[in-house]
């Protein structure tokens, strides 16, 4: 349709996509990912599958990327831009001489980046990067984009004085065993050579490149005219923004945001490393209240808040993600709020579920989940910061699923749990969940063994269930908490169900957020801070559900008044973001 309202042509007429095969990387038939080229006016591009959309079909190529003017000449057919053997994942455009095409395959975690010349058919495509998406240490970064006069964004090209080479700017997280050290590399697209022109302060601060500001002119950017927007923060200093200009790399601070919660300005934060019994290296962030001294104050009540993740190798699972120098941001219902209640907070301890080779990760889900939790609990007790009988566990979404499973299969570790917006019966998500490809009928035992609903009779520790009344996430419908609560109540567990009116998978209303905080604090004060039962008599050995029941049995089942695909892979509420790598390279 033109701006004057006149119809130009119909690109495609697709039926409802209701027959997409059940497997990761399966897609719909026909044209998909239809977009405008960012570097050209009125030019379209899209992808079409060659495997019928079924990821289980072996075929080469698997996807073909096409391009065509919006108003082609009579008889002009779409042009084949590139053929891919993995699944198409997008394009970063530059000009007729350069574009980057991404493809990936979840089953193997393989990801590739191709260099193509869209306007030169005689230039053969070549692979720029071929790597594992879960190997964060090898991530080369993403190309920085500049804004054009039309408001689109294309890959920025840089040049040097008396140098004919074509350079890109690669902006990366810089994951290392010591934590993330973001960087900016000047990358020769033809030779692959790199020059590091900027790197974060690795001692005290966490800095990152936010945007490229040298986009006022069309064409290549001279290195001496480079200007970038960066952010800078520390454990206790709020994020501030700066403009950095070349060639002298002079910094100009442009913000002065005050500390958002000065009462916790001197909180203690430490990224800790420890080992699971099978040798897998684990990482967590330990937060302690301001002024706390373990030698003087003794062990504290502790809240462990996490979210499991799947990996294909032990090495990838053991890699460090995040930085010890990042500012301790606290969201509306973040676990870090309980620092004000003098809790120790173990945030985001690595809970890797590993399936190496042909093994599926979830076939040993419970075993690996318990081993990871045992290692985390042993570490905070060893450090003397957590009281063995006052360690609570919690999580949101898949983290809630984790919480229920730990109370069922590792009751010797925790005194109580908080589970928000979770799914507890995997037979109610029979066509896969999270990163599980197999259906209920293909992996019946796995679905049953992973479901804490099936182990409701083993849960004896107090558990608080919170759920939005109108959860729109297909993997965590509200009925999951309702059914689980009734199963727990029927077996005499001390449990409470809170339904938040009008809320979805996350919680938005002030009333809901305040109520979640009140319910959680009340639960922790009663069942964690005041707990006197023996919880961790023998952490090194699993009790297989045989734990002492909570001494307070007067209120074994309490219901709250009011209200009536797979889980999200990022836990917004806890501040732990499990996003995809910065690039698909």
Q: What is the DSSP string of 186-207?
A: EEETTT--EEEEEE--SSS-EE
Contact 473, 492 (CB under 8 A): no
Cα distances from 63 to residues 20, 25, 54, in angstroms, run 15, 11, 11
In this structure, the dihedral spanned by the alpha carbons of residues 555, 561, 565 and 569, taken in order and rounded to 10 degrees, is -70
Handedness of CA 309, 315, 318, 321 (dihedral sign): negative
- Match 């969201």 to its residue by tokens: 331
504 is catalytic: no
- Please identify which of the residues 51, 54, 437, 471 carries the catalytic annotation: 471
26 is catalytic: no
Q: What is the DSSP letter of 527?
A: I
Contact 368, 404 (CB under 8 A): no
- Please identify which of the residues 92, 214, 397, 451 carries the catalytic annotation: 397
Map residue 211 onto helix, strand or coil.
Answer: strand
C-alpha span between 468 and 476 (Å, rounded): 10
CA angle 524, 504, 514 (to 5 degrees): 40
C-alpha span between 202 and 187 (Å, rounded): 22
515 is catalytic: no
Map residue 131 onto helix, strand or coil.
Answer: strand
Greatest extent of the chain over all pairs of C-alpha atoms, in Å: 84
Map residue 169 onto helix, strand or coil.
Answer: strand
Map residue 518 onto helix, strand or coil.
Answer: helix
Contact 35, 44 (CB under 8 A): yes
Cβ-proximal residues to 484 (8 Å cutoff; 6+ apart), any chain: 404, 424, 425, 452, 453, 456, 465
- Please identify which of the residues 409, 505, 515, 527 carries the catalytic annotation: 505
C-alpha span between 396 and 221 (Å, rounded): 45
Contact 174, 163 (CB under 8 A): no
Q: Catalytic positions, please?
A: 397, 471, 505
């Amino acid at each position: 349709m033109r701006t004057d309202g006149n119809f130009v042509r119909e690109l495609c007429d697709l039926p409802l996509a209701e027959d997409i095969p059940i497997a990761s990387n399966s897609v719909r038939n026909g044209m998909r990912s239809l977009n405008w080229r960012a570097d050209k006016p009125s030019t379209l591009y899209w992808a079409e599958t060659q495997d019928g959309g079924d990821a289980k079909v072996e075929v080469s190529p698997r996807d073909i990327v096409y391009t065509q003017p919006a108003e082609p000449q009579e008889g002009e057919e779409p042009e084949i831009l590139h053929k891919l053997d993995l699944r198409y994942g997008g394009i970063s455009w530059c000009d007729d001489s350069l574009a980057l095409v991404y493809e990936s395959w979840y089953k193997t975690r393989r990801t590739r980046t191709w260099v193509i010349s869209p306007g030169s058919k005689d230039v053969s495509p070549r692979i720029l990067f071929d790597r594992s998406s879960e190997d964060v240490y090898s991530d080369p970064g993403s190309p920085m984009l500049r804004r054009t006069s039309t408001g689109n964004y294309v890959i920025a090209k840089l040049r040097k004085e008396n140098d004919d080479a074509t350079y890109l700017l690669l902006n990366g997280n810089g994951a290392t065993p010591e934590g993330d050290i973001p960087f900016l590399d000047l990358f020769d697209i033809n030779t692959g050579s790199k020059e590091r022109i900027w790197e974060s302060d690795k001692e005290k601060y966490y800095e990152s490149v936010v945007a490229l500001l040298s986009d006022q002119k069309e064409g290549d950017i001279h290195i001496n005219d480079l200007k970038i927007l960066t952010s800078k923060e520390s454990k206790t200093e709020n994020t501030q923004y700066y403009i950095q200009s070349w060639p002298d790399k002079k910094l100009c601070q442009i913000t002065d945001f005050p500390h958002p919660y000065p009462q916790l300005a001197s909180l203690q934060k430490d990224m800790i490393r420890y080992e699971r019994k099978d040798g897998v290296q684990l990482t967590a962030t330990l937060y302690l209240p301001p002024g706390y001294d373990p030698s003087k104050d003794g062990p504290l009540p502790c809240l462990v808040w996490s979210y499991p993740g799947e990996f294909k190798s032990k090495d990838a699972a053991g890699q460090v993600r995040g930085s010890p120098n990042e500012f301790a941001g606290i969201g509306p219902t973040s676990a870090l709020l309980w620092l004000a209640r003098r809790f120790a907070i173990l945030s985001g301890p690595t809970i890797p579920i590993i399936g190496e080779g042909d093994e599926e990760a979830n076939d040993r889900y419970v075993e690996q989940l318990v081993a990871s939790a045992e290692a985390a609990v042993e570490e905070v007790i060893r450090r003397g910061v957590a009281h063995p009988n006052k360690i609570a566990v919690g999580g949101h979404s898949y983290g809630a699923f984790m919480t229920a499973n730990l109370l069922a299969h590792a009751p010797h570790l925790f005194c109580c749990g908080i589970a928000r917006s979770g799914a507890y019966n995997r037979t109610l998500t029979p066509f896969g969940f999270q990163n599980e490809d197999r259906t209920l009928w293909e992996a019946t035992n796995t679905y049953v063994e992973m479901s804490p609903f099936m182990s409701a009779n083993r849960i004896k520790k107090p558990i608080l269930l919170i759920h939005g009344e109108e959860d729109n996430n297909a993997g965590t419908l509200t009925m999951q908490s309702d059914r689980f609560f009734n199963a727990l109540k029927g077996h005499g567990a001390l449990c409470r169900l809170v339904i938040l009116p009008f809320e979805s998978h996350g919680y938005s209303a002030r009333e809901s957020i305040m109520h979640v905080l009140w319910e959680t604090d009340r639960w922790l004060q009663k069942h964690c801070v005041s707990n006197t039962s023996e919880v961790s008599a023998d952490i090194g050995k699993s009790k297989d559900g045989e734990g002492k029941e909570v001494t307070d049995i007067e209120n074994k089942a309490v219901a709250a008044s009011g209200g009536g695909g797979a889980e999200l892979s990022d836990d917004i509420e806890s501040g732990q973001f499990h996003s995809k790598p910065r690039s698909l390279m």
